[in-house]
Amino acid sequence: MTHNNDHVVIIGGGGTAIATMYDLCLRGFKVTLIEKGELTSGTTGRHHGQLHCGARYAMGDKNIAKECMTESALLRKIAPNAIEYNMGMFVALNDDDMQYKDNFIQCCLDADIPAREIPISLAFEYEKELNRNIKAAVMVPDGTIDPWRLAISFAAGALKTGNAEIKTYHEVIAINKNASNIESVTVINHISHKKETILGDIFINAGGPWAGKIAELAGIDLPVSPSPGTMLAAKKRISNMVVSRLHEAGDGDIVVPQRQLTIIGSTQWLSDNPDINRVPQEDIDFLNKSAIDIFPCFKNLEYHTAWAAARPLYGKHSTSEGVRNLSRDYIAVDHEKHDGVDNMISIVGGKATTLRAMGEVVSDMLCKKVGLDIKGRTSEIILPNYREYYRGGRNGQTD
Ligand SMILES: Cc1cc2nc3c(=O)[nH]c(=O)nc-3n(C[C@H](O)[C@H](O)[C@H](O)COP(=O)(O)OP(=O)(O)OC[C@H]3O[C@@H](n4cnc5c(N)ncnc54)[C@H](O)[C@@H]3O)c2cc1C
């Protein structure tokens, strides 16, 4: 089924754009996705890799926590090739952490997250390298995502519908309007260095931390704060599961085992520019110390690498503290209502864990806008293996 008159152009090739493409293709839309680099070359290919069950957000925002619980369970079902469901443990290291424990467990339970305290002896059995001074341990259903494989499984699913066209190494450099209607985008092909015009009926801005800059091309002021953070990877896997500090969500308090690496993250600073080309040495030193607090053996490990990526936070703030307090939720904005541009929607914020839900929300908004009642099906279908992406998505299993 294709709605021939509804050609959707999606700008961006991160998890949000790819999941949106997949959802719309399943609903029968013809979709062209335009990405200036390789798929996932923005924040999606550089995040920490935690499959959030929502425990980290339970005390701050129950709705985000609940959604993470639902979405992480769904991703485990539909994208088994990209998820290691290894569980999560929150550990208390001092008396302040202990003060936080009971309320934390209650807030998790209120958000339908099955958190439970376990005896410290059992925590050491599960995680042999843990700091011997921990005072309490709480288990939650976190896991590890392979960021690239997850997004690429969605891309394989989209290609398999026959409705998707993916243009990588194409950067949108202009958005061409006729009065209030966008007619096309101008792209530069970074391989051939040639310009091209791509026509469309509806345009979706899924540019992550670049979404504000993309909106500017259409004359729209979209408040987005690129909020970079650093991660540090060491060359040995020292935990079985995701281990977090049992305190208010902050910097350097999550250790994620990713294949044979251990990744500690992250930090947060303020920037106008999502193209991050520096990793502050003070961040590396801080992360190293934070990892040692949880796993003393971290000090003996060889570094693999350190890198940074920008969170696409919705909202504007001029101070680091202000940006830190911006919501981790996502928002879909219909620019017809807000900015007088008829046929453009932006989707900003969220997490890699919520990519499917974000794709569904923006696709629902698009369907409503064009007067079509077509339900999303992405929660029902097992995604093809990410490898199918390279075979044109034609050989994997679906429904
Ligand atoms: C330090 C850090 C740690 C994180 N850890 C986790 C975690 O453990 N778990 C979790 O669930 N989430 C995590 N996140 C959040 C998660 O990574 C992001 O929310 C998510 O990856 C954003 O995806 P996106 O597709 O919206 O943006 P992006 O992946 O950035 O995609 C936007 C794309 O748009 C492209 N683009 C930009 N401008 C143009 C243009 N003009 N033309 C064409 N293409 C363009 C970019 O190249 C980019 O690929 C973390 C984020 C950060 C920063």
> Which pLDDT value is given to residue 374?
97
Sign of CA dihedral 29, 33, 39, 42: negative
Q: Does the pLDDT of residue 10 top 70, yes or no?
A: yes
Structure tokens at 218: 């259409």
If you measure from the C-alpha of residue 15 to the centroid of ligand 1, how many angstroms do you get, rounded to a whole number? 7
Q: What is the DSSP-derived secondary structure letter of residue 37?
A: S
Q: 247 in ligand 1 pocket by Cβ < 6 Å? A: no
Q: 310 in ligand 1 pocket by Cβ < 6 Å? A: yes
pLDDT digits (tens, 9 = 90+) for 310-368: 999 999 877 777 777 788 899 999 999 989 999 999 999 999 999 999 999 999 999 99
3-state secondary structure of 46: helix
Q: 16 in ligand 1 pocket by Cβ < 6 Å? A: yes
Q: Does the pLDDT of residue 231 top 80, yes or no?
A: yes
Average pLDDT over residues 165-190: 98
Q: What is the DSSP-derived secondary structure letter of residue 398?
A: -
Q: Does the pLDDT of residue 396 top 50, yes or no?
A: no
> Which pLDDT value is given to residue 103?
98
> Which pLDDT value is given to residue 271?
87
Among all chains, which residue has been given the structure tokens 């807000």? 338
- Ligand 1, residue 18: give the atom nearest the CA: 25
- Ligand 1, residue 354: give the atom nearest the CA: 11
Percent of the chain surpassing pLDDT 70: 97
Q: 41 in ligand 1 pocket by Cβ < 6 Å? A: yes
Distance CA 351, CA 325 (A): 16
> Which pLDDT value is given to residue 318?
74
> Which pLDDT value is given to residue 395?
43
pTM of the predicted structure, to 2 decimals:
0.96
Average pLDDT over residues 273-286: 93
Q: What is the DSSP-derived secondary structure letter of residue 218?
A: T
If you measure from the C-alpha of residue 42 to the centroid of ligand 1, how many angstroms do you get, rounded to a whole number? 5
Q: Does the pLDDT of residue 398 top 50, yes or no?
A: no
> Which pLDDT value is given to residue 1?
46
**CB crowding 148-162: b at 16 or more within 10 Å, else e:** bbbbbbbbbbbbbbe
- Ligand 1, residue 309: give the atom nearest the CA: 53
What average pLDDT does the structure give for the chain?
95
Average pLDDT over residues 42-70: 97
Average pLDDT over residues 92-118: 98
pLDDT digits (tens, 9 = 90+) for 157-167: 999 999 999 99
Contacts 24+ apart (CB under 8 A), 178-181: 180/336, 180/340, 180/341, 180/342, 181/341, 181/342, 181/343
pLDDT digits (tens, 9 = 90+) for 364-391: 999 999 999 999 999 999 999 999 998 8
Atom 47 in ligand 1: residue holding the nearest Cα: 42
> Which pLDDT value is given to residue 153?
98
Q: Collect all residues with Cβ–Cβ distance below 8 Å to 176 and sequence separation of at least 6.
A: 182, 183, 184, 185, 186, 197
Q: Does the pLDDT of residue 114 top 70, yes or no?
A: yes
Structure tokens at 104: 């934390």
Q: Collect all residues with Cβ–Cβ distance below 8 Å to 149 and sequence separation of at least 6.
A: 79, 81, 82, 386
CA distances from 130 to 19, 89, 123, 296, 298 (A): 37, 11, 8, 7, 10
pLDDT digits (tens, 9 = 90+) for 15-32: 999 999 999 999 999 999
> pLDDT category, 393, cuts 50, 70, 90?
low
My answer on whether omega of the bond before 320 falls inside 30° of 0, hence cis, is: no
Going from the N-terminus, what domains does the chain have, and what CATH number goes with each?
Answer: 1-49+146-223+317-399 (3.50.50.60), 83-142+225-314 (3.30.9.10)
> Which pLDDT value is given to residue 397?
38
Average pLDDT over residues 185-196: 98
- Ligand 1, residue 49: give the atom nearest the CA: 8
Q: 329 in ligand 1 pocket by Cβ < 6 Å? A: no
CA distances from 161 to 13, 80, 260, 300, 394 (A): 18, 20, 35, 49, 8
If you measure from the C-alpha of residue 99 to the centroid of ligand 1, how many angstroms do you get, rounded to a whole number? 34
Q: Does the pLDDT of residue 45 top 90, yes or no?
A: yes
> pLDDT category, 278, cuts 50, 70, 90?
confident
**CB crowding 12-27: b at 16 or more within 10 Å, else e:** bbbbbbbbbbbbbbbb
Ligand 1 pocket mutation, candidates 40, 48, 346, criterion most atoms within 8 A of CB: 48
- 8 A C-beta contact, residue 145 and residue 353: yes
Among all chains, which residue has been given the structure tokens 């259409």? 218
